[in-house]
Structure 1
Amino acid sequence: MKLISFKQSLVAFGVLLTLGACDTDEKLEVKGDGVVLETDFYRNETEAYSGLVAAYDKVGKFAGSMETAPLLFLNSASDDFYAGGGNSGDQPGLQVASNYTVSPSNIPPAIWSNYYQGVFRCNVMIQKLPGVPMDAAKKARFMAEVKTLRAYYYFDIVRMFKNVPLILVPLSKAEVPNVLQAKPADVYAQIEKDLNEAIADLPITIPASESGRFSQGAAIALLGKVYLYDNKKAEAAAELAKVNGTPGQMSSYGYKLMPAFADLWNHANKFNTESIFEIAYSDKSNADWGNFETGNDEGNVAAQLMGMRDYARTATGVTAGLPDYINGWGFMVVTTDLANALSTDPRFASTIFDANAEKAAGRITFTDSYNETGYHFIKYAAVNADIKATNPFLNFAINTYIIRLADTYLLEAEALGGTGARAQALLDAVRARVGLPSVPVSLAAIYAERRLELAGEGHRWYDLVRTGQAASKLAFKGFTAGKNEAFPIPYSEFNNTKMVQNDQY
């Protein structure tokens, strides 16, 4: 079963408030099984599985929506991209992230609410699973998966918004007004607790029929990453070493760097040896504008948004073998700073398309995006052969990486303080894969390598904030130190709660 690509059920919880939970009159619609009250659900393994599918579902929002997609939002907020699009008002949630005019009234509220809906679904499962009559080993795995998912959701929430409620059980409407925010340290402690409890009950390997579910290795990698963000560097290095194994060799969890960097961006290489946790997207849901984001949003929408506007190859471009990219919407314009940083790097060709150069040579035509630089991001670029669905804009089957091995190599090297033989070997392995020579390991060298290796994959903004570089690197966009290290909590979330807004918003 592909939990993200092919839902076996549609679960509509109908939460009255993002932080709230189902009352007894809230309904669960279960495909093929009628409509039942939530209180009467989770009667058997089939229904527990449906709840598990629902808990996974919000992971797909990473690239499966528009201005509310964390991939697009975080890229826009980084120094590597401008939001782009047709004009300064196109997908305004991305524009305010890009120019740091983001506020409680203009941040896309669904970024927050999608994560908390995921948390809510996990909380329901954690509460209901113990009473479900089913195989004990399978029940333990389901519980481990929803705890890992809850950790995953909270990790993004606390990194983006910092001061957030820590909700571990479904809330009634009467309890919502008493919601308070937790200290970030307490949120990190809960994330670490969930992951440590989950790891032993997750499978070491995932069969192809279950691709997209959490494995033991993925949960360990996530835990290592969490420890690093929580400034527990020794613990982070220890966990990441389990996943990484000997640099450049196959690890005990079956992970190994792909031989060629370009192979990572061949859409056919899904769930490859470098992929630790990957989101699967589908072209089978046939989502359209009438049902988008109501349970049919299974495709990679970001791929459409990131395509060049009015892109077309001339006869010369066809002869030259230029990619047959779709006609896209022109978002995620690459900054000249990133293009210059990658200009002599072997990874440039798989990361950036130099549209201005090709246009000047008469090989393509395209329409400028807002803040056009001539450089466009292509790791997840769709081509016309990818169009399989009735409405291609919402249904591209292009997967995205959340954690891959090069990421964990560099995270471990950082956790080791950027010194020592192992940190050097981890950095060397990433560089050697693309034919680059060894450079002396240091934190600066690791940070630089992360930018070039992981460009556009949603890590850069987090990296800048974590390492204290955000104020200097993002000053040209209007970043304010002491404020923009966290995003504002949407105004809509303050109704009937005791929450307080983040500083300076």
Structure 2
Amino acid sequence: MKNKKLIFIENNVARYVVWCAFAVSTWALTSCSKWLEEDPYSLYAAETYFDNTEDAKKAALGVYEIMASQNTYGFYMSLVFDIDSDLAYMEGTGFSNDNRTLAHYNFATGHNYITEAWRALYEGINRANLVIANIPQMDMFANGSEAEKIELRRCLAEAKFLRGLYYFDLVRLYGDVPLKTDYTKATDDMKSARTDKEEIYDQIIQDMTEAIPDIPEASEKPLDERISRGAAKGILARVYLGRGGYSLRQNGQMERPSNYLTCYEEARRLTKEIIDGGQHALNTSYETIFRNYCELKLEPKESMFEVAFFNPSGARPYSGYIGSWNSPLTAAGAVYGRANAFFRIIPTLYDKYDPADQRKDIAIARYEINGSSQKVDLSNPILANVRKWTPGKWRRDWQGTEPKDLNNTDINWVLLRYSDVLLMYAEAENEINGPGANSDGSAYWYLNMVRRRGFGVPVDQPSATADLPSGLSKEEFFEKIVEERTFELCYEGFRKFDLIRWNRLGTSLRAAQEDLNAIYGNFPYIAGNYFTDNKHELYPIPQKERDINQNLTQNPNY
């Protein structure tokens, strides 16, 4: 077995990229014969790998490494799978098996991105299963020093948390999927049937709940991208909201569970624990959050959980398209590196922001950069300009150094910010008790904190400028939550999942297309034409997987 080392790069803060700590097989229902043709030592020698805490740490970091793949958060799950939505669209019409057809809901069941993401997530699960099986068998897990036991419990907890996260991604993308909690052995039956998503949610919640006590708080760990306790609680709160929301069931209907309020209660509990714990806070500057990402600075008070990217040469693997595909259009001759800017925004969003809301000119870039590295103003809202408006949160001209690669970047992808925790609490509290009054502990108060930061006023003081009007009903306040998640979190990978759990995806796509055509005429937004209700809320089970495993049924209407 060949071991590759964990690489730390000092760039203002410690950043890591994980080179696979050990070789493992993938349990992705892929071709068994291909694996059997490989040298067998590379598949199963990992069972004898766990000799000390350093081995265990490398193995746990090998589970994280899956997130740094372009098949997951380096490209597909960060940039392609979240659009087209009512906030953004992919530029161009595309060809078979490319990003545009997938974004526009005009794809086949054999689309490569769908298959590759499925396989990558299952590879991560299999790595996690290997860690979970082996760490408790280590002698020092029971008999080591207290420091050794703490480190091993942490590594075990991280593997459990990440297994839960990868299953959560699978459930949201594909619905019912096979559930496997043992690592793959040569004698295993690779042709499992799909498991009801409610059973998978039980496993996700069990994994994350068991993990949380052994994961350190943000202030108790080094400044790196490993999960903190607050972040684990925040992701678990997101799991509960996902489970309590609508999803496409195998009967072809969008439904939510009968006990959905229990899920909201758990989300409220977890987010309130984070708020009361004092480990996290809003950055006083919305702009600084995203400049930090572009400048490769970690700031875990606000940015609670990030996917780490780094490649010494700038090439693949372990680099991403963040700040290239979703950045203002930048010519290849510019000093900043090229930005293809395939990720375009819905221009009507700009005018939906309050004029005093400072977030609009950070979230939305209305310029491009020419080959002389000069900004070209596109703010005049004519069709030729608005077609070039892009997300502004990740900008080539904010990245500060000459690029190692014209297309790829080392910019991390954020999975959880503290403002999202506040908005999740507000949503859960409103669902349970209504918005309440504008005082500490109410849904009003925490949503208004997010708004105040966006308006550039103190977050802990009532503001006549930023705060929502009092007296809103539960239903009216919910619409403000939908709106605020738009203004605060746009283009950060959550929109489609939010619209699905609110059962609004198809309606929102068609409304966006109608609005754009009414204002601009023949606007190049076509998702409303292709989206099919009770179908496209899920991706299909990859056809290549079904060809191998006939026990895999297909999702509705594919």
Residue 266 of structure 1 corresponds to: 291
CA apart distance, 1:15: 3.3
Q: Secondary structure at the match of 1:254?
A: coil
Counterpart code for 2:69: K
Change (3 A) 1:170 1:63: closer
Find the partner of 2:157 among 133, 141, 144: 144
Residue 439 of structure 1 corresponds to: 468
CA apart distance, 1:482: 0.8
* 5+ residue gaps, structure 2: 1-5, 9-13, 141-147, 245-262, 456-464, 514-526
Question: Counterparts of 1:400 and 1:277 in 2: how far apart (Å)?
Answer: 9
1:12-51 to 2 correspondence within 5 Å? 13=23, 15=25, 18-19=28-29, 25-28=39-42, 37-51=45-59
Counterpart code for 1:379: K
- The alignment's C-alpha RMSD in Å is 3.3
Find the partner of 1:423 among 424, 433, 443: 443
Counterpart code for 1:306: N
CA contact (8 A) 2:109 2:543 kept: yes
CA apart distance, 1:343: 7.3
Residue 501 of structure 2 corresponds to: 466
Find the partner of 1:255 among 253, 256, 280: 280
Q: Which moved more, 1:118-127 or 1:72-81?
A: 72-81
Find the partner of 1:493 among 536, 542, 545: 545
CA contact (8 A) 2:330 2:368 kept: no
Residue 319 of structure 1 corresponds to: none
* 5+ residue gaps, structure 1: 30-35, 246-251, 314-322
Counterpart code for 1:72: L
Q: Which moved more, 1:339-348 or 1:255-264?
A: 339-348
Q: Matched residues, percent identical? A: 23
CA apart distance, 1:257: 0.5
Question: Counterparts of 1:389 and 1:77 in 2: how far apart (Å)?
Answer: 28
Pairing 1:70–2:63 present: no
Change (3 A) 1:500 1:386: farther
Residue 200 of structure 2 corresponds to: 187
CA contact (8 A) 2:71 2:117 kept: no
Q: Secondary structure at the match of 1:172?
A: coil
Find the partner of 2:268 among 220, 237, 241: 237
Residue 395 of structure 2 corresponds to: 381
Question: Counterparts of 2:231 and 2:164 in 1: how far apart (Å)?
Answer: 12
Find the partner of 1:409 among 402, 408, 422: 422
Pairing 1:328–2:339 present: yes
CA apart distance, 1:358: 11
Q: Secondary structure at the match of 1:82?
A: strand
Change (3 A) 1:329 1:312: closer
Question: Counterparts of 1:280 and 1:220 in 2: how far apart (Å)?
Answer: 20
CA apart distance, 1:391: 2.8
Residue 354 of structure 1 corresponds to: 366
CA contact (8 A) 1:308 1:326 kept: no
CA apart distance, 1:276: 1.5
CA contact (8 A) 2:447 2:481 kept: yes
Q: Secondary structure at the match of 2:182?
A: coil
CA contact (8 A) 1:261 1:433 kept: yes
CA apart distance, 1:287: 4.4
Question: Counterparts of 1:372 and 1:502 in 2: how far apart (Å)?
Answer: 37
Q: Secondary structure at the match of 2:83?
A: helix
Find the partner of 1:364 among 376, 382, 395: 376
Q: Which moved more, 1:373-382 or 1:205-214?
A: 205-214
| TM-score, normalising length: structure 2 | 0.76
CA apart distance, 1:223: 1.4
Change (3 A) 1:113 1:153: same
CA apart distance, 1:348: 1.2
Change (3 A) 1:13 1:78: farther
Residue 80 of structure 1 corresponds to: 87
Change (3 A) 1:198 1:12: closer
Question: Counterparts of 2:58 and 2:87 in 1: how far apart (Å)?
Answer: 39
Change (3 A) 1:192 1:407: same
Pairing 1:455–2:490 present: yes
Q: Secondary structure at the match of 1:75?
A: coil
CA apart distance, 1:337: 3.1
Pairing 1:6–2:33 present: no
Find the partner of 1:57 among 49, 65, 78: 65
Change (3 A) 1:144 1:8: same
Change (3 A) 1:449 1:88: same
Residue 32 of structure 1 corresponds to: none
Counterpart code for 2:126: F
Change (3 A) 1:139 1:44: same
Residue 391 of structure 1 corresponds to: 405
Change (3 A) 1:357 1:183: same
Q: Which moved more, 1:170-179 or 1:215-224?
A: 170-179
Residue 99 of structure 2 corresponds to: 94
CA contact (8 A) 2:328 2:390 kept: yes
